[in-house]
């Protein structure tokens, strides 16, 4: 696959992930799951901690799962949600900063290499 096609795929994947985060409620759900750590939370606890419940929570979790930012697994009668996409979230921030100051002097911290 050539570089242009790979860049297009990366751009499409990043756009999809950012679109999934384009809601205050979804962002709140994801942040709640990040705080909970890799073990995640049962959906009821996720609702209680995020303040989003019922079908609204289910809808938002589904969108985050489709963007591969959240996983859902069944444990007995519970559904456990987890922010298992830590590498993808890191990739989102790296994507935004990867060309920082590419066309200008960088006023940011000296440790930055962009």
Hey, what domains does the chain have and what are their CATH numbers? 3-88 (1.10.10.10)
**Which pLDDT does position 1 carry in this prediction?**
58
**Which pLDDT does position 43 carry in this prediction?**
95
Res 3 pLDDT > 90: no
Looking at per-residue pLDDT, the higher value among 9 and 57 belongs to 57
Question: What is the model's pTM?
Answer: 0.74
Cα distance between residue 55 and residue 72, in whole Å: 15
- Alpha helices in 21-53, H assignment, sequence order: 24-36, 43-50
Cα distance between residue 68 and residue 84, in whole Å: 8
Q: What is the CA radius of gyration of the chain?
A: 17
Cα distance between residue 59 and residue 37, in whole Å: 22
Instruction: Tell me the mean pLDDT in the region 41-67.
Output: 95
Cα distance between residue 69 and residue 98, in whole Å: 20
């Amino acid at each position: 696959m050539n570089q242009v096609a790979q860049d297009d795929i990366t751009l499409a994947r990043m756009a999809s992930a950012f679109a999934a985060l384009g809601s205050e409620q979804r962002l709140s759900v994801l942040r709640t799951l990040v705080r909970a750590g890799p073990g995640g939370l049962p959906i009821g606890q996720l609702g209680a901690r995020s303040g989003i419940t019922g079908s609204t929570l289910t809808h938002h979790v589904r969108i985050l799962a489709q963007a591969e930012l959240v996983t859902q697994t069944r444990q007995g009668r519970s559904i456990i949600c987890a922010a298992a996409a830590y590498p993808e979230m890191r990739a989102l921030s790296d994507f935004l900063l990867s060309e920082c100051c590419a066309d200008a002097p960088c006023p940011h911290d000296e440790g930055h290499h962009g």
